[in-house]
Amino acid sequence: MALCAQDVELDVLLSVRTNLKFYGMIRGIAKNELETRINEVVELFGLTEHQHKRVFELSGGLM
């Protein structure tokens, strides 16, 4: 048995990509490295086609 909570800790009005950028900046990731890391995360989690959608537009399984 597993639990997958659907409480969102992201800003639901921002896109997936913008949320990643925001949290990357807060964590102090250098601007020149940030885009590369965002691209890696988007690809790793299969979010390429969803990266420009606002979080509230995603299904629970994508959050």
Residue with the bigger pLDDT between 44 and 11: it is 44
- The residue assigned the tokens 């890391």 is 37
Tokens of 28: 């102090």
At 3-39, the pLDDT tens digits run: 555 666 778 899 999 999 999 999 999 999 999 999 9
DSSP string, 1-63: ---------S-TTSBHHHHHHHHHHHTT--HHHHHHHHHHHHHHTT-GGGTTSBGGGS-TTT-
Tokens of 42: 């988007």
What pLDDT does 4 receive?
A: 57
Extents of the domains making up the chain: 16-57
Tell me the whole-structure pTM to 2 decimals.
0.79
What pLDDT does 10 receive?
A: 79
